[in-house]
Chains A and B, each alone.
Chain A
Amino acid sequence: KAGVTQTPRYLIKTRGQQVTLSCSPISGHRSVSWYQQTPGQGLQFLFEYFSETQRNKGNFPGRFSGRQFSNSRSEMNVSTLELGDSALYLCASSWTGTGNYEQYFGPGTRLTVT
């Protein structure tokens, strides 16, 4: 079974630009969660989508948004990039997204904002 894939793997953007990251979950998984990981803040939950609906949201500004398609693939968008948005963005898929099921993480997208 193929794992979670994320594209692109690396990205360099300029402050003020916007970026879209993509995540393809494991086949059959309906929940996709997004996380931001930085050395200082650890792994921070952004949001979770289940069956095309945002089901949970973390404490991030509205510049961070996402969506999920009918095939469970998900995209995350960050508008008006700031230097502090430089991070490793990880997506994780799960069968249902509840705490009773493990999450499978992708390799991440390394975003650098200059």
Chain B
Amino acid sequence: SQKIEQNSEALNIQEGKTATLTCNYTNYSPAYLQWYRQDPGRGPVFLLLIRENEKEKRKERLKVTFDTTLKQSLFHITASQPADSATYLCAPADTNAGKSTFGDGTTLTVKP
């Protein structure tokens, strides 16, 4: 069955450092992979989408990589700030419309 694993439930880093979050998937080959941010008690917010033919994508302090051979995506936040503290969810998706599977998320805490 399809499985998505995100690295350790919680990640604590110091302000200014780079946070790296991992998303591994097994038993399917997604054509796209999305990353979302979720704050407590609120719905997820879309951050980035990367396609299978793209190795890397950037948006401001965010960078996502997608390695279809390793079946892994890495999500980086550079120059992290306490405001970046949240849970980050990855969601690999294929071209089959409408069914999204989310990982359990990694909770990031950035300490001042």
Contact = CB atoms under 8 A, between A and B. Distances in A.
Interface in B93-111: 93-105
B95 A99 contact: yes
Contacts of A104: 46
Interface in B33-63: 34, 36, 41-46, 49, 51
A70 interface: no
A10 to B, nearest CB: 11
Contacts, number: 80
| 4 closest A-B pairs by CB | A99-B93, A105-B43, A48-B98, A102-B46
Interface residues of A, number: 29
Given A42-B102, A50-B98, A55-B98, A99 B30 contact: yes
Interface of B: 30-32, 34, 36, 41-46, 49, 51, 89, 92-105
Q: Is the interface of B mostly helix, strand, loop or mixed?
A: loop
B34 A102 contact: yes
Contacts of A101: 49
A58 interface: yes
A56 B98 contact: yes
A68 B100 CA distance: 18
A106 B38 CA distance: 12
Nearest to B92: A99
A104 B44 CA distance: 8
A42 B103 contact: yes
